[in-house]
Amino acid sequence: MLSRGRTGCHACHELRPNEDIVSDVAISYTVHVFAVAGSLRKDSWNMKLLRAAIELVPPGMMIHQFDGLSDIPPYNADLDVDPRPEPVRALKQMLAACDGLLIATPEYNYGIPGVLKNAIDWASRPAATSPLLGKVALLMGASTGMVGTARAQQQLRQNFVFTRTTVLPTPEILVAKAPEKFDAEGRLADETARELIKERLQTLGEWVYKLRAR
Q: How far is the CB of 156 from ligand FNR (least distance, A)?
A: 14
Give residues in contact with ligand FNR (CB under 6 A).
39, 41, 44-46, 106-110, 143-145, 147
Q: How far is the CB of 39 from ligand FNR (least distance, A)?
A: 3
Specify whether the CB–CB gap between 27 and 18 falls below 8 A.
yes
The residue (of 65 and 203) whose beta carbon lies closer to ligand FNR is 65
The residue (of 30 and 44) whose beta carbon lies closer to ligand FNR is 44
Rounded CA separation 118/123 (Å): 9
Q: How far is the CB of 107 from ligand FNR (least distance, A)?
A: 4
Residue number of the CB closest to ligand FNR reads: 145
Rounded CA separation 167/159 (Å): 10
Rounded CA separation 48/1 (Å): 27
The residue (of 176 and 211) whose beta carbon lies closer to ligand FNR is 176
Alpha helix positions (H), the chain: 45-55, 86-96, 114-123, 150-162, 191-213
Sign, CA dihedral 34-38-43-47, equals negative
The residue (of 58 and 106) whose beta carbon lies closer to ligand FNR is 106
Q: How far is the CB of 196 from ligand FNR (least distance, A)?
A: 18
Q: How far is the CB of 44 from ligand FNR (least distance, A)?
A: 3
The residue (of 147 and 211) whose beta carbon lies closer to ligand FNR is 147
